[in-house]
Amino acid sequence: MIYLDYQATTPVAPEVAEAMQPWIADRFVNPHSPSRWGREAAAAIEVARKQVEQAIGLPGGGLAFTGSATEALNWALKGTLEKAPAGRNRIVTITTEHAAVLDSCEWLGSRGHDLTRLPVGPDGLLNLGDLEEALDERVAIVAVMLVNNEIGVIQPVGDIARLAHEAGALMLCDAVQGLGRVEIPEGPDLVAVSAHKVHGPKGIGALWMRKGAEPAPLVHGGGQELGLRSGTLSPALCVGFGAAARLASERREQDRGHVERLWDAALAQLGSTWTVNGNVEHRYPGNLNIHREGVDGARLISDLRDIAFSLGSACASGSGRPSHVLRALGLTDRQARSSIRLGFGRYTTEEELVGAVRRIDSAAGAQQGLAA
């Protein structure tokens, strides 16, 4: 298989699997128990916490592990609204957010909170003037992601946080696709991340919280994570996340250079019948979302079964509905259905990427009755 679905999940790094191994096998102890073994596991979790905090790279806050970034985003939004002062009842977000944000906002809307979903331009970027207009003393939180999971564009999160703060609101940044790949600008009060997007294990995420901006708890129980998030932590998952974060920090320049070369090679191979969806400058280059008029993206995926790529987010791919992100850019349903997302990174070779792109291009030509 040629794996080109790095936005859905990333291959587990060998160093991560190795770091996790002892904690899966004999060191199965509960990290919250007072025994020597429990304390050793707790210490390993604290090392991992520091490693993830360092990869996030923001000052003045702390991090709680969660079961996923989806949980972290739910917690950030619902817990912030619960603690918000009377009269600050509104959430501002954008139409191209991940379902974890949009559906949490919808749910809060159904519970009586107000919701503003701002549009993006044809390049996928938020217009800061639109945000300024939407902000006032009724806004509790602004939620905008750093790197879009479907089209890879990078929102101006530092400016968004500044405007949110000027209006007295908090800023939540979904940095799931940005961690270890692009710098997270200073400004956000809450940052959600996920291990499996940075070559770590699935089933663990985290919420970084600026001191003083901690949301009210969502998951109640033993209060293991700073008294704010309950549930026994898995030392194996935490250690795996820590190892993945450390590697991402250490290899940031190397990974970035590799991904830029892959992007150039893929574009050179594609030719002019394909159009890149979203801004080509403000983007993470390991996400190549493209469309070609008249092509059926789903058919391409089933025609090329040994290449793993997708139509957009894993969630959107299952539903059969055209992507809400591509629709938000102004693509027609037809153009959205003729779009595909190629995601590549640390372990993709140029040879396999260029070979896959060549085959995708000729399968698209074959669909249109063109000689391949």
Closest CB to ligand PLP among 274 and 309?
Answer: 309
Tell me the catalytic residues: 315
We find the least distance from the C-beta atom of residue 72 to ligand PLP, in angstroms, to be 8
Minimum distance of ligand PLP from residue 194's CB (angstroms)? 3
**10 counts as binding ligand PLP under rule CB under 6 A:** no
Asked if 143 touches ligand PLP (CB under 6 A), the answer is no
**b/e burial code for range 188-198 (CB count within 10 A of at least 16 → b):** bbbbbbbbbbb
Q: Measured from the CB atom, is 70 or 335 closer to ligand PLP? A: 70
For ligand PLP, the binding residues in 57-76 under the rule CB under 6 A are 68-70
Q: Identify which range of 125-133, 170-178, 267-275, 283-291 contacts ligand PLP by CB under 6 A.
A: 170-178
Using CB under 6 A as the binding rule, whether residue 161 contacts ligand PLP is answered as: no
Closest CB to ligand PLP among 42 and 94? 94
CB of 316 to ligand PLP, least distance (A): 10
- Find the binder of ligand PLP among 10, 74, 149, 323 (CB under 6 A): 149
Smaller CB separation from ligand PLP, 98 or 246: 98
**Smallest distance from the beta carbon of 195 to ligand PLP, in angstroms?**
8
Indicate whether 177 belongs to the interface with ligand PLP (CB under 6 A).
yes
Contact call for residue 100 and ligand PLP (CB under 6 A): yes
Q: How far is the CB of 100 from ligand PLP (least distance, A)?
A: 5
